[in-house]
Amino acid sequence: MLSKDRSTFVCSSCGYESPRWLGRCPGCGEWNTLVEDVETRGTGNPTSGGRPPVSISSVDASPEDRLPTGSPEFDRVLGGGIVPGSLVLVGGDPGIGKSTLLLQVSIRAAAGGRVLYVTGEESATQVRMRADRLGLPARPSPALPPDLFVMADTDITRIEAQISETDPVLVVVDSIQTVFDPGLSSAPGSVAQVRQCAAAFLRLSKERGIPVFLIGHVTKGGDIAGPRVLEHVVDTVLYFEGERYQAYRILRAVKNRFGSTNEIGIFEMRGDGLKDVANPSGVFLEERSRDGIGSVVAPCVEGTRPLLVEVQALVTPAVFGVARRTAIGVDHNRVCLIAAVLEKRAGLNLASQDIYVKVAGGLEAVEPAADLAVAVAVASSLRNRPVPGDAVMMGEVGLGGEVRAAGKAGLRVSEAVRLGFRRIVLPAGDLPSIEDVASLEKHGAVLAGARTVAEALDAAGL
Ligand code: TYD
Ligand code: MG
């Protein structure tokens, strides 16, 4: 079945293709990740096999009946539940909780039909032991649904046969890197195997209308293909992220044919499985430092959801000649730029100071709207003066020291007020877009429009 047309070299980490072997991948900059990939004929588009064209007006346009995952957080990331016939890739570092997440989804889905959980990573016993750990409803007993079938196999032909026989409502493959096609000579986990098997699952999901979740480990080094080589094959790509040693996990959509890619879902890893975090702003602010020096809350927006994060800064005299800037959770260049603006436009003396900026809780603040919080946190630490505990700061900082509109200001302000913040410093340009100022003021909120960083520092009492 393998016809050697021509070979290409594929980066097993990012999927970059090259006609020649290269030591360093031009796509992602990794070394020794390019491996030979033999193209097989006829795997181009497995969904188009031999169907005649139809008039667009006769195509069924009714919205798909989505299957809820039982987790509102997961449903939101998928765009409102699982779409029948969709192929979803869930990537993430080993140990982050991918198997746990999808086992929970499988258990819930099995209440409504047969679910096939294919495991090549663990034995059926290990899957059972994990399932026993999860906080399951006591009723109906037995707690584990009889319609959840665990298949400890990695041969794609046997898995395909089992899917035909079981006719499940959901298939989970844990992981795609362990599944292999015996017709290919390359080793399981190689780019060719991983792509071939993913194409087989794509065909299965489309032909039979069964949603299939593929788990893919993010890998280091070139021996095993990473999930990125599959991103263009599947309908939806989700990444499960977080600090391994912290409890919070973020599920992020980076590609979604059935929804927005900005959405995130937040979970907490507990002793009895992953739990939805319904009020993330409150959770991430729980452990804020008490004195408020160098700590500022920024109202960010991820997709449609507002998320309040704590930006921390520590400014200390530089010991070695050149002052250092270190950033975690914010872009390093942004911190350098904001420090330069503070120096030049607000008269802060930062040239001989090391600056450390961090977003608490392992979160990231990528939005420009978080600039002002970074600037105010740095100024607060430099001057050793606290920022009021009930203040939030939002706005993009320009090179001229101007505070530019943040967008979605109403959403940010109402989330901040909902969580008890009262001093809202926002770009002056965003003030007119706040509609319910009167009701916000009734809650005791004070909205201060800032045109420049210097004005924002005044408003923060620095
Ligand atoms: P796992 O789902 O196996 O991760 P992945 O499939 O992404 O490799 O989760 C691994 C970690 O989660 C492991 O260190 C144990 C921990 N864990 C809990 O803390 N609580 C639980 O209920 C479960 C099932 C796992
Ligand atoms: Mg796993």
271 lines ligand 1 (CB under 6 A): yes
Highest mean pLDDT among 49-53, 93-97, 227-231, 400-404: 400-404
Tell me what pLDDT residue 41 has. Answer: 45
Q: Which residue reads 């969709």 in tokens?
A: 86
Tell me what pLDDT residue 380 has. Answer: 97
Tell me what pLDDT residue 300 has. Answer: 93
Per-chain residues with Cβ under 5 A from ion ligand 2: 99
The least confident of 112-116, 304-308, 339-343, 388-392 is 304-308
Indicate if the pLDDT at residue 1 is higher than 60: no
Indicate if the pLDDT at residue 288 is higher than 60: yes
What residue's CA is closest to ligand 1, atom 16? 97
CB-based contact 184:200 (threshold 8 Å):
no
Determine the distance separating the centroid of ligand 1 and the alpha carbon of 400, expressed in angstroms.
48
Strand runs labelled E in 336-455: 353-359, 391-393, 396-397, 403-404, 423-427, 446-450
What residue's CA is closest to ligand 1, atom 20? 271
Structure confidence at residue 322 as a pLDDT band (50, 70, 90): confident
The residue to mutate among 98, 100, 144, 241, having the most atoms of ligand 1 within 8 angstroms of its beta carbon, is 100
Tell me what pLDDT residue 222 has. Answer: 62
Tell me what pLDDT residue 3 has. Answer: 46
| DSSP codes, 174-226 | E-GGG-B-TTS-SPTTSHHHHHHHHHHHHHHHHHH---EEEEEE--SSSSS--
What residue's CA is closest to ligand 1, atom 9? 97
Higher pLDDT, 16 or 296: 296
Tell me what pLDDT residue 43 has. Answer: 47
Q: What is the Cα–Cα distance from 116 to 126, expressed in whole angstroms?
A: 16
Indicate if the pLDDT at residue 416 is higher than 70: yes
Mean pLDDT of 131-142: 66
Indicate if the pLDDT at residue 71 is higher than 90: yes
Prior bond of 142 cis (ω within 30°): yes
Q: What is the Cα–Cα distance from 237 to 132, expressed in whole angstroms?
A: 28
* Percentage of the chain exceeding pLDDT 70: 92
Pairing of strands 305-317, 295-302: antiparallel
Q: What is the Cα–Cα distance from 389 to 18, expressed in whole angstroms?
A: 54
Tell me what pLDDT residue 61 has. Answer: 67
What residue's CA is closest to ligand 1, atom 8? 95
Percent of the chain that is helix, strand, coil (3-state, to 5) = 30, 25, 45
Mean pLDDT of 45-62: 70
Mean pLDDT of the chain: 88
Q: What is the Cα–Cα distance from 288 to 421, expressed in whole angstroms?
A: 14
pLDDT tens digit sequence for 368-412: 999 999 999 999 999 999 999 999 999 999 999 999 999 899 999
Predicted TM-score (pTM) of the model is 0.78
245 lines ligand 1 (CB under 6 A): no
What residue's CA is closest to ligand 1, atom 15? 95
392 DSSP assignment: E
Beta bridge partners of 270: 273
Ligand number nearest CA of 93 is 1
CB-based contact 416:423 (threshold 8 Å):
no
